[in-house]
Chains A and B, each alone.
Chain A
Amino acid sequence: MLSEAGLPVIEATSFVSPKWVPQMADHTEVLKGIQKFPGINYPVLTPNFKGFQAAVAAGAKEVSIFGAASELFTKKNINCSIDESVRRFSDILQAARATSIPVRGYVSCVLGCPYEGKISPAKVAEVAKKMYSMGCYEISLGDTIGVGTPGGMKDMLSAVMYEVPVAALAVHCHDTYGQALANTLMALQMGVSVVDSSVAGLGGCPYAQGASGNLATEDLVYMLAGLGIHTGVNLQKLLEAGTFICQALNRKTSSKVAQATCKL
């Protein structure tokens, strides 16, 4: 349904061990089972070389790797330092280069960390630069716990844009404190033209019980359409996909556009 809505990139699954993320245990079946529309990319997460190999075997044509701008977050998340995590990625990047598979790099905690608190823009720039120079075609800067505000977004992007061209940057804002769209607007004003979002604002926040998670794609598309920015996405079809998944999960949508349109 998401493919039919005209989204150009849909992150399909994660080739991670089901011990860590049981929800993604069926990664191979999902990737093999979906209808791949021409012109749409279906990247998958590959946290390590084993995952990368499994992803390629399952037909993946694009992969993503996840770094962080916080030492403590990296330690708690994947049990190593930032430097070590970057070293591990170089295996994936080499192999991906050899098979012409594009790699997207994520940097978590760019505007704040649940363990370290404040994160310096310089650190974000350092990690982003490293991942870009190693071969990631795009770096998605994630406000993982949604604590950022437009001023912090601007400062962080200014630092990163010094090292990585803006055309290779994306923002991934969480809406935990309701700041996602304002932060995304600031990023757009600074020249960023790639934005991550999740239909119906799916996903909560593991660090704040009861809080919301991702920016809702419907609300993002609404804003972009209002700004006259072309996305190629059909909002109506997107809303349908959102309704479908919310019904399947038996949960209410986190998208305000969906709430306003569905007249519940």
Chain B
Amino acid sequence: MGNVPSAVKHCLSYQQLLREHLWIGDSVAGALDPAQESSQLSGLPEYVKIVEVGPRDGLQNEKVIVPTDIKIEFINQLSQTGLSVIEVTSFVSSRWVPQMADHTEVMKGIQQHPGVRYPVLTPNLQGFHRAVAAGATEIAVFGAASESFSKKNINCSIEESMEKFEEVVKSASHMNIPARGYVSCALGCPYEGSIATQKVTEVSKRLYGMGCYEISLGDTIGVGTPGSMKRMLESVMKEIPPRALAVHCHDTYGQALANILTALQMGINVVDSAVSGLGGCPYAKGASGNVATEDLIYMLNGLGLKTGVNLYKVLEAGDFICKAVNKTTNSKVAQASFNA
């Protein structure tokens, strides 16, 4: 940059700048002002569904145990932003994930808005039954493309885990409960290093074949780059249609948005993210975790893609949870907007 002007205080206030000139559309009012919309990049989907995983994947990786009422308030705030999917909690044993010990209370305590879905993780049949008893109407199962990761994470091989998930997904299907499948380590594993795209495809196909309506491909440790994202998606898309795929990028190495852009260019239109970029990385101390929903929405708005989500309301929810867990936001948009 050149000289720093002393007349900075005369520049447009940031609120004004964002509102009038740049890519912060108010989704409640409808589409962006046509005069501001940039020409849509050809080949990109018109609408992108954002799956908000902050309350589950985000909080799960935060050290501070968040009180139940805060979790409920957080989710209630998210329900008013226009997000259509909010992952609420995980019906996993509290011995493994103490943060999610209050899964039943949270599931029962949230205000479920019409038009918003509230999936929960159910690692096994026991968790599934508890989830249904607590009022869950959508579930998710978590596989991995790495044997070592599967063994360390859930203490069984990929094949064994698939058998367990098949029970859950089939039970869900009998009750007309949709099931989403996650594939971890899609672009790299903290134990095995690089992961063959063929393996990711195999696991994805298995989950899709047993009845999962959507497969979320997770760059669990954020090591992927646009090239590896492209190669992995090319492989998976040979077996699974793009409309049934989602990407779940971690921002550990700052690559998340570039990887997501690549996925969008390849026809993927479902993206997972977490408000404020909640959640660190259990495999890299001090590293960041999920891509921040605010930063994702900023990019999608700028690209002229519809999301239905109100960025200002998401910023507010992010501000709320960061204050509650006493941490600085990982969202750059929030950092720029709140004059921290």
Contacts and interface: CB of A to CB of B under 8 A. Distances in A.
Given A118-B21, A210-B339, A259 B39 contact: no
Interface string B236-258: 00000000000000011111011
B326 interface: no
B10 A226 contact: no
A170 to B, nearest CB: 14
Nearest to A114: B11
A150 B41 contact: yes
Contacts of A150: 41, 261, 299, 302-303
Contact of B7 (A76, A146, A147, A255): A76
Contacts of A219: 253-255
Given A114-B17, A226-B228, A256-B253, A108 B284 contact: no
B12 A117 contact: yes
B11 A179 contact: no
A207 B326 CA distance: 26
A26 interface: no
Interface range on chain A: under 10, 10 to 19, 20 to 34, or 35 or more?
35 or more
B333 interface: yes
A16 B3 CA distance: 8
Nearest to B283: A260
Contact of A264 (B7, B285, B335): B285
B55 interface: no
A81 B12 CA distance: 19
B29 interface: no
Contacts of B11: 76, 114-115, 207
Interface string A138-151: 00001010111111
B2 interface: yes
A43 interface: no
Nearest to A218: B254
B68 to A, nearest CB: 31
A76 B295 contact: no
A185 interface: yes
Interface residues of B, number: 60
Contacts of A77: 2-3, 5
Q: Secondary structure at chain B's binding surface: helix, strand, loop or mixed? A: loop
A20 B3 contact: yes
A179 B1 contact: no
B255 A117 contact: no
Given A16-B3, A21-B3, A118-B36, A185 B261 contact: yes
B38 interface: yes
A20 B4 contact: yes
B175 interface: no
B76 interface: no
B225 interface: yes
Contact of A210 (B260, B284, B336): B336
Contact of B1 (A117, A144, A216): A144
Given A151-B38, A178-B295, A264-B285, A117 B20 contact: yes
Interface of A: 16, 20-21, 45, 47, 66, 76-78, 106, 108, 112, 114-115, 117-118, 142, 144, 146-152, 154-155, 175-179, 181-182, 184-186, 203, 205-212, 216, 219, 222-223, 225-228, 255-257, 259-264
Interface of B: 1-5, 7-8, 10-12, 14, 17, 20-23, 36, 38-41, 222, 224-228, 251-255, 257-258, 260-262, 281, 284-288, 292, 295, 298-299, 301-304, 331-333, 335-340
Given A77-B3, A227-B227, 12 more contacts: A66-B3, A115-B12, A149-B23, A151-B39, A152-B302, A179-B257, A182-B257, A223-B255, A227-B225, A257-B254, A259-B286, A260-B286
